[in-house]
Amino acid sequence: MKKLMAIAFIVVSMLSGVAAEEGAAFVPYSDALTKCSAEWKASDQRAKTPKGEGSKAWNAFRAECVTRQGYVKGRKAPTTGS
């Protein structure tokens, strides 16, 4: 019985560690977008974009940048159990 409880404790501990790691990697979209906006404003790509193409260029840059910043579409913020 003690072995079974020890094994159960180890399994639960390992699963908790995995959940904590996933929660630590969470990047809210708003944070990623703020960083990407600053990068876009300072970029040469923005300055070289022809008139009328800015929206298209920004959307392409934003899509790549938020992924690079660590945002994952569909991932929810970790909730605290209360």
Residue bearing tokens 């970029």: 43
Residue for token pair 């790691």: 21
Give CA separation, 44 vs 40, 48, 61, 67, in Å: 8, 6, 12, 20
pLDDT recorded at residue 14: 63
- Band the pLDDT of 74: cuts 50, 70, 90: confident
pLDDT digit string (tens) for 52-71? Answer: 999 999 999 999 999 999 99
Stated pTM of the model: 0.60
DSSP 53: -
pLDDT of residue 41: 95
